[in-house]
Amino acid sequence: MSILQYLPIISSAGGLAFAAILVIYIQRKEEGSKRMIKIAGAIRRGASVFLKRELTALLLFSGSMTVVLAFFIAPQVALAFAIGTTASFGAGYIGMWVATRANVRTAHIVRSSFVQGMRTAFFGGSVMGTVSVALGLLGLTALFLFFQGPEDIEVWLGYAFGASSVALFLRVGGGIFTKSADVGADLVGKVEAGIPEDDPRNPAVIADNVGDNVGDVAGMGSDLYESYVSALAAAMVLGIVTYSLTHGSAGALLPLLLGAGGLAASVVGIIVVRPREVPESYEAEAKATRGALNRGVYVSTGLMIVLGYFTIHGVMGPEGFGPFIAMVGGLVGGFVIGLSTQYFTSEYAPVRAIAAASRRGAAINIIEGLSSGLMSTVVPIVVVAAATWLAYVSSGGLEDPAKGFFGIAIAAVGMLLTLAMLLSTDAYGPIADNAAGIAEMSRLGKEARERAEALDSVGNTTAAIGKGFAIASAALASLAWIVTYLEVAEVTEFVASDVRVVAGLLIGAMLAALFSALTLKAVSNGAFEVVGEVRRQFREIPGLKEGRAEADYERCVALVTRRAIRSMFLPGIVVIAAPLIVGFVLGREALAGLLMGALFAGFLLAVAMANAGGAWDNAKKLIESGLYGGKGGKAHRAAVIGDTVGDPFKDTAGPSLNILIKLVGKVAVIFAPLFLLLA
């Protein structure tokens, strides 16, 4: 056991070294013309300014929470919380730093080689994937080496709570920023002025590209980082509670060893992503890119199943067969959900139906998109339900519920084991999107723009798959935290006939709706201000519309930054205050109900909104490729409006619900000792 416990450290170090090699590879690529460097510099500065402003707010919150944890829970929990916040923010910042350098290099390289451009964008995303997983695994393993006993479980939970706090700020704040800029830029630029997307005449175009990095790289990265750490921490707690008498600390070590194997499998998957040269056409290049990315996912998933079998059998012996089935259930479940998301958000029947509906106007487009989004909830919910049941039964939950709960946690871990590979494909999307924007603003020509658009089209799908995967993994991780809460808070009676549970269920479901409303309202307010500013510049800057003058890009970036920072506090307060109020006022049973209600409603809303938004986006891109009259036609104008409605669905409200359903569980578990004391 003494040797095994250092394997996650070795794997993490290897992951960080691999990420460093990728950074060197990217940095050696040329950035292109002076205009390209200038545009990329503006995007880079805007992203850095926003993250620094968020860091100020985060330090205020995390400092206060560290003091609260030190006085009311335990000093070592406060220390773990501080380490968790630092590692999580560091992963997000590193990912954004690399993305804002890979974007311009991708735009330059794609002019001469589609394959090399794709590899540059993907390797940029791979830095985010490997660094996030490596830091998460490294932090938890280090804490485990110093705090290994059943009495130390709150230390592991404190680390996960720190990761959640950062994810709350980066996911919500970044989501509000990116969609306020995007919606405002589209409404005035494409709908009113009739200029193309990413046109340099649009004053909000830099803010829009900044948003891709702070929302879809740093924000999504912190979200999935938090899911990963959450699942590992919950499995560690349930493992040591369940198996401490028979296996010592092996039950807690097992999730870390699986994480080490998952990181190694993901690195292999990243290496085999090698697109082939294809005829120069939008469809062929998009298909080649998608095939290369899928190959990496298949390889890493297959390799992880083999590594997982030997790891679990080596640690637990014959008793490990049930947890292995649970792990495979989670791993395969995540894969199936990815395929389902791809079907509902790529160029398949649902997206084509939305594109066809656009011929009859924006209203029909929106109705068709909402229908598709709601329909897309069926497969993820059935898969998560099946994975949960399979994990519980196969792990012996019918005879010993504690073993069943551990199986559910292992299923959540299983879904996230190849996160480094999956996050690489997800972070690739905004880099490709930025590259397409830089190609347009730099006027690189039709050929370069079309190649970049092909990369971007696949990026939209990988981003949608990433969001679907993030939501499903958040649901399983949330289940793991709920059963952890039931154990830690000693909730022995949890039945639907208990009025306290019913009250909690209703409040939890309401929280999902309230949280979504607050984030959507924040985007609406931010977009309103952007629209006003863009109209003002078009009106007051002579020659701007004609391309003879340059827009004041920094003013739009500053405006959206202020709005996003102000707007992210209220949703954050709601997430943290609600479980505390219910726990102290209505009791532990009501709080258990709240966690369930938030999970049920939040999971459903998140899937529907994320997939509807992704489908609207790709329906618009399908029309822009020449279908139904192409750009500028009636169908295209309707599709642009549908895409604008879907933007805050898929990039703000939907993904932010991931944080809600997980963070309420962490707050409940961390403060469970106080609830017990009052009881």
Task: Give the pLDDT of residue 246.
Answer: 66
pLDDT for residue 524 is more than 80: yes
567 contacts: CB under 8 Å, gap ≥ 6: 173, 176, 518, 522, 525, 526
**pLDDT tens across 214-237, in order?**
877 887 788 788 888 888 988 888
- Average pLDDT of span 168-196: 80
Q: Which residues, 6 or more positions from 350, have their beta carbon under 8 angstroms from its beta carbon?
A: 343, 344, 372, 375, 376, 615
What is the percent of the chain where pLDDT is above 90?
25
Give the lowest-confidence range in 116-125, 158-167, 446-455, 635-644: 446-455
- Contacts of residue 334, defined as CB under 8 A and 6 or more positions apart, other chains included, come to 414, 415, 416, 418, 422, 469, 472, 473
Question: In sequence order, what are the residues at sequence separation of 6 or more whose Cβ sits closer than 8 angstroms to the Cβ of residue 443?
Answer: none
| Band (442; pLDDT cuts 50, 70, 90) | confident
The pLDDT assigned to 504 comes to: 92
Comparison of pLDDT for 555 and 456, the residue scoring more:
555
What is the domain partition of the chain in residue ranges? 4-488+497-678
Question: Looking at residue 597, what is its pLDDT?
Answer: 93
Kindly tell me if the per-residue pLDDT of 328 is higher than 60: yes
CA distance 241 to 303: 30
Cα dihedral across residues 169, 174, 179, 180: positive or negative = positive
pLDDT for the residue numbered 227 = 82
Amino acid at 52: K
Buried b (16+ CB within 10 A) or exposed e, 555-575: ebbbbbbebbbebbebbbeeb
**C-beta neighbour count of 445 within 10 angstroms:** 10
pLDDT of residue 534: 84
| Per-residue pLDDT at 377 | 93
Nearest to 589 by CA among 475, 477, 675: 675
pLDDT recorded at residue 269? 92
Query: Which stretches within 489-568 are classed as H helix?
Result: 499-540, 553-567
| pLDDT value at 458 more than 80 | no
> 560: helix, coil or strand?
helix
Cα(431)–Cα(149) distance, integer angstroms:
43
What's the pLDDT tens digit per position in 68-93? 888 888 888 889 999 999 988 888 88
For residue range 93-149, what is the model confidence (pLDDT) as tens digits? 898 899 999 989 988 888 887 788 888 989 999 999 999 999 999 999 998 888 876
- What are 51-54's contacts with CB under 8 Å, separation 24+? 51/92, 51/93, 51/96, 51/214, 51/218, 53/561, 53/565, 54/169, 54/170, 54/173, 54/174, 54/565
Q: pTM (2 decimals)?
A: 0.86
Give the pLDDT score at 604.
Answer: 92
Mean pLDDT for all residues in the chain: 85
- Percent of the chain exceeding pLDDT 70 equals 95
pLDDT at 1 over 60: no
